[in-house]
Amino acid sequence: MVSEAKKKATEDRLSALTLPQGNGWLDAARKDALGRLRAVGLPAKRDEYWRFTDPSALVATAPAVEGAQAAADPFAELDPFVITVDGDAITVPDGAPEGLEIDTLRAASAVDIHWVRDVYGTHEAAGSRPVLRPLAMLNTAYATDGLLLRVKGAVARPVAIRYTPGTDPILHHVVKLEPGASLVLLESGTSGDRSNHVLEADLADDASFHHLRIQGPDDLRHVNTHVFAGLSARSVLKSFTLSANGALTRNEAVIEMTGDDGSATVAGAAFGRGAFHHDDTVFVTHDALNCESRQVFKKVLRDGATGVFQGKILVKEGAQKTDGYQISQSLLLDDDSVFLAKPELEIYADDVACSHGSTTGAIDETALFYLRSRGVSKRDATDMLVLSFLAEALDEIEDEALREHVTARLAGWLAEH
Amino acid sequence: MLKIENLHVKLEEEDKQILKGIDLHVPYGEVHAIMGPNGSGKSTLSYVLSGRDGYEVTEGSAQLEGEDLLDLEPEERAAAGLFLAFQYPVEIPGVGNMTFLRTAVNAQRKARGEEELSAGDFLKAVRAKAKTLKIDSEMLKRPVNVGFSGGEKKRNEILQMAMLEPKMCILDETDSGLDVDAMKLVSEGVNALRGPDRGFLVITHYQRLLDHIKPDVVHIMANGRIVKSGGPELALEVETNGYGDIIGEVA
């Protein structure tokens, strides 16, 4: 039952939006999502998965604050194939890397037969059960554009999506990896004062998808993102997010492992201060044999910042030999900051190894003294220990060059404080 | 060089006096050893001098080259030329040993108004010094002290000391956890740094380290005070008779 208040909040929000017009198949997908959304309503503070994060700024008819800022491209040195997204205006340059077909949702909506038809909204719809993802439903219904990447082989050059701020964008990307295909996708920049992003990733057998995202370092943005990934046999997903600053960030990852011997890693490092509120909500479903999943999340919080982690591993009946791992840790740099964690395991198979842990701690005074006794200032020493704390999450970035690159960015941002 | 006068120190959190009037003067170029039984206050002295939190100086002073140490932050004391080799060097995962060393060296140079070392010059200096301490490039690349053996950690302390070129070096139980070979290596590293412009305070429980690092003066500490000072022969006396006789004699 949707309460009257929720119904009203939902209709208020929808009245400020226009359902984009397009061809039959996309219209149908949008209306399906809209129907699902209306049946459950937009999130409210009392919903089970929103207790730690007040969704009102994400649900309101307009962004609460203005002030999203463009930042220098953190991936420029890696020479990726760059696709720019200015608000919701996508520019795809010529010369796409070999093995990759690039299209946009807007262009695809004009044609009757398109590969994305079988994918768009399907992983989102599957991932909205059993936990509701109403903001993702809203996204599927109202996304004005998005990138459609069809990966047919091993794409050697990384592809980068580079955002610059626009007005309240709703973007829906789809990545479809065919058997044996591989892609490295980078995302960086801020798409708006408030943004709603969905990324659906469809991994066929033996496909490999590395997703590396940097959010920030601007202070005022309100962001909610969803990554929905479906993994077939022997496919590999690695998704890593570095979040620097920002007012409100809710990153959800919903992973379905339906093929045997798959491997999925979702990891993140986040740091912020003051009004910073950062929420990672992760749901990994094991529905096949011998799959491995890892959730590794670290947050550094100061000056009253809030960190949230809600992570779940669901092992379905028959998903034997599952190896599930989950860790969430926070480093609180003062007494005012808060970390809220809700780790969950739900297991219906008897031959599995699943472990989870969550810790909250302060800076190690002995280590701080050790560094300072060598002449390093208190501030620099603290930054070093912050970096040291986040390193374990950064280690989840498999590619050494990428890892070092992200670490250097992070070190630079810490030093700017 | 290092002048400690009537130093009284208590724990900050509880009413417990640890140092009860230490007087100690280490002139330029000399190596002084402090020996004493567990709980005598040896390590506390090293922490108070280097500025660790948790202690309160209730009386007395400590000066390095005439500058009052006790008012300075730990990093300021380091820049002034003080170095403490830790009894238990701290592991810092995720921070490369080289990065750490370079940050420390340049922070001190900057604090002293000197130019920072270029990456090339730094690398050259580290490699030369690491070689004499048998620290290989793999160890330099690894995170600070992570996965190092006891001996490797202590050698790494001496490498830091060699790179930072302090005026006054305090070695806190550097021999603990070392086998004979490691002790020899560490001692050679220390001895190479001995010189007319540098002072050493070697804190140890056992005499054996002093076979390798020959002290000019040996002080015996007990119950927060220096109870006896003398030449190297004092260390041998401890080795033969234990602390009981000396402490009893004074009491």
Q: What is the 3-state secondary structure (H, E, C) of chain A?
A: CCCHHHHHHHHHHHHCCCCCCCCHHHHHHHHHHHHHHHHHCCCCCCCHHHCCCCCHHHHCCCCCCCCCCCCCCCCHHHCCEEEEEECCEEECCCCCCCCEEEEEHHHHCCCCCCHHHHCCCHHHHHHCCCCCCHHHHHHHHHCCECEEEEECCECCCCEEEEEECECCCEEEEEEEECCCCEEEEEEEECCECEEEEEEEEEECCCCEEEEEEEECCCCCCEEEEEEEEEECCCCEEEEEEEEECCCEEEEEEEEEECCCCCEEEEEEEEEEECCCEEEEEEEEEECCCCCEEEEEEEEEEECCCEEEEEEEEEECCCCCCCEEEEEEEEEECCCCCEEEEEEEEEECCCCCEEEEEEEEECCCHHHHHHHHHCCCCHHHHHHHHHHHHHHHHHCCCCCHHHHHHHHHHHHHHHHHC
CB pair distance less than 8 Å for B94 and A390: yes
Residues of A in contact with B78 (CB under 8 A): 372-375
**Angstroms from B95 CA to nearest CA on chain A:** 6
CB pair distance less than 8 Å for A388 and B93: yes
Can you tell me the distance from the alpha carbon of A180 to that of A163, in angstroms, rounded to the nearest whole number?
29
CB pair distance less than 8 Å for B94 and A372: no
Interface test with B, best of A363, A370, A382, A406 (most B CBs within 10 A): A370
pLDDT band at A117 (very low <50, low <70, confident <90, very high): very high
pLDDT of residue B177: 83
Chain A touched by B124 (CB under 8 Å):
no
CB pair distance less than 8 Å for A385 and B92: yes
**Is the C-alpha dihedral spanning B215, B218, B221, B226 positive or negative?**
negative
pLDDT of residue B250: 62
Are the CB atoms for A254 and A127 separated by under 8 Å? yes
pLDDT of residue A264: 98
Average pLDDT, stretch A84-108?
Answer: 94
pLDDT of residue A300: 97
Instruction: Assess whether pLDDT exceeds 70 at residue B14.
Output: yes
Q: What does the mean pLDDT of chain B come to?
A: 93
CB pair distance less than 8 Å for A387 and B78: no
**Angstroms from B53 CA to nearest CA on chain A:** 8
Query: Which residue of chain B comes nearest to A369, CA vs CA?
Result: B52
pLDDT of residue A415: 81
Closest by alpha carbon to A168, among A194, A190, A136?
A194
**Closest Cβ opposite residue B75 in set A365, A378, A384:** A378
pLDDT of residue A417: 62
Residues of A in contact with B112 (CB under 8 A): none
Residues of B in contact with A390 (CB under 8 A): 94
Residues of A in contact with B153 (CB under 8 A): none
Can you tell me the distance from the alpha carbon of A247 to that of A243, in angstroms, rounded to the nearest whole number?
11
Q: What is the CA radius of gyration of chain B?
A: 18
CB pair distance less than 8 Å for B92 and A367: yes
Chain A touched by B89 (CB under 8 Å):
yes
Q: Classify residue B63 by its DSSP letter.
A: E
Are the CB atoms for A374 and B144 separated by under 8 Å? no
Average pLDDT, stretch A179-205?
Answer: 96
**Closest Cβ opposite residue A376 in set B77, B84, B104:** B104
CATH architecture of B2-90+166-250: 3-Layer(aba) Sandwich (3.40)
Are the CB atoms for A313 and A343 separated by under 8 Å? no
Are the CB atoms for A168 and A104 separated by under 8 Å? no
CB pair distance less than 8 Å for A384 and B95: yes
**Angstroms from B97 CA to nearest CA on chain A:** 12
Q: What percent of chain A has pLDDT over 70?
A: 100
Query: Which residue of chain A comes nearest to B84, CA vs CA?
Result: A373
pLDDT of residue B176: 86
pLDDT of residue A21: 84
pLDDT of residue B195: 94
Closest by alpha carbon to A58, among A7, A19, A121, A10?
A10
Residues of A in contact with B84 (CB under 8 A): 373
- Using a CB–CB cut-off of 8 Å, the residues of A that contact B are 364-367, 369-378, 380-381, 384-385, 387-392, 394
Query: Which residue of chain B comes nearest to A380, CA vs CA?
Result: B103
Residues of B in contact with A364 (CB under 8 A): 90
| Tens-place pLDDT, residues A262-279 | 999 999 999 999 999 999
CB pair distance less than 8 Å for B93 and A377: no
Chain A touched by B93 (CB under 8 Å):
yes
Instruction: Assess whether pLDDT exceeds 90 at residue A167.
Output: no
Scan residues 21-60 of B and list those with Cβ closer than 8 Å to A. 50-53
Instruction: Assess whether pLDDT exceeds 60 at residue B251.
Output: no
pLDDT band at A65 (very low <50, low <70, confident <90, very high): confident
The reply to whether ipTM tops 0.85 is: yes
Domains of chain B, by residue range, sit at: 2-90+166-250
**Angstroms from A394 CA to nearest CA on chain B:** 9
**Closest Cβ opposite residue A369 in set B74, B105, B160:** B74
Chain A touched by B111 (CB under 8 Å):
yes
Instruction: Assess whether pLDDT exceeds 70 at residue B187.
Output: yes
Chain A touched by B13 (CB under 8 Å):
no
Instruction: Assess whether pLDDT exceeds 90 at residue A345.
Output: yes
| Tens-place pLDDT, residues A233-255 | 999 999 999 999 999 999 999 99
**Angstroms from A356 CA to nearest CA on chain B:** 21
CB pair distance less than 8 Å for A377 and B86: no
The neighbour count for residue A168, using CB atoms within 10 Å, is 18
| Tens-place pLDDT, residues B99-137 | 999 999 999 999 889 999 998 999 999 999 999 888 888
Average pLDDT, stretch A278-286?
Answer: 98
Instruction: Assess whether pLDDT exceeds 90 at residue B203.
Output: yes
Size of interface A-B (CB pairs under 8 A): 79
Determine the angle formed by the axes of helices B97-111 and B150-164, rounding to 10 degrees.
30
**Angstroms from A385 CA to nearest CA on chain B:** 7
pLDDT of residue A136: 98
CB pair distance less than 8 Å for B103 and A380: yes
Can you tell me the distance from the alpha carbon of A18 to that of A96, in angstroms, rounded to the nearest whole number?
32
